[in-house]
A and B are shown apart, each in its own frame.
Chain A
Amino acid sequence: NAGVTQTPKFRILKIGQSMTLQCTQDMNHNYMYWYRQDPGMGLKLIYYSVGAGITDKGEVPNGYNVSRSTTEDFPLRLELAAPSQTSVYFCASSYLGGGPDTQYFGPGTRLTVL
C-alpha cells in the first residue's frame, strides 16, 4: 500500500490565486482529515470527513473548502489565497470500526503565498 499520498509537494501562489491540494489514501479508511502546521507550532485541523459525501469543519476552516466524492480522495480547495495561508498542509486518514483510532499522515504539501 502507498498509504496516504499528497500532491503537490511544494507550491508558491500569488495572493488571490486559487488551488487544490490533492490527497488520496489506498487503505479503505472511512475517516479523512486536513491539518495545517505553521512554523514551530502543532497541527490544527481544517476539515474532516467521516465518509464519502460527508464533511465537517475543524478548528480553522475559514478560507478553505473540501469535498469527498469517493472513499479514496479528499481534496482541499483554497479559493482566494492569502499570506496567512502559508503553511504546511497534512492530510491524514483513519479507520473507525473497532481497534485503535490511529491516524496515518501523508508527507505534506508546503505552500507559500506571496
Chain B
Amino acid sequence: DAKTTQPPSMDCAEGRAANLPCNHSTISGNEYVYWYRQIHSQGPQYIIHGLKNNETNEMASLIITEDRKSSTLILPHATLRDTAVYYCIVRVDNQGGKLIFGQGTELSVKP
C-alpha cells in the first residue's frame, strides 16, 4: 500500500498558485519525498524531490514540514497544461526498485 495520503481532486484557476498537499506520517528518516505527475495517461514525469529542506526547481517548489510528516507541492503559476494527476511518493534514495504509486491528486486547472 502507498505510504502517502493525498486528496483525490483539486481545482485551481489558471495563473494562480496550485498547492497540492500530501501526508506521509510514517516516513522514515532516510526516505525522500518524490513528486511525479501524469498528464492524460502519458507516462509519469518527475517533478521534484526532497529530504527535509525545502526545494525549488524550474517546475515547482516542495515544502516539507519540520516533522516531515507532510509536504506541499507548489506550482507557482498554474497553466492549463498543468492539468494532470499528481503523485506523492516516499522512498529511500539511490536504492532503485519500485515507486509505490497511490491514487494521486487529480488537479484541474480552469481558465
> Which residues of A are interface residues toward B (Cβ below 8 A)?
4, 31, 33, 35, 41-45, 48, 50, 58-59, 88, 90, 92, 94, 96-98, 100-108
Contacts and interface: CB of A to CB of B under 8 A. Distances in A.
Given A41-B103, A100-B49, A48 B43 contact: no
A59 B98 contact: yes
Interface of B: 2, 36, 41-46, 49, 87, 91, 93-99, 101-104
Interface of B: prevailing SS? loop
Contact of A42 (B46, B93, B96, B103): B103
Contacts of B95: 96, 101
Contacts of B42: 105, 107-108
Contact of B44 (A31, A41, A43, A96): A43
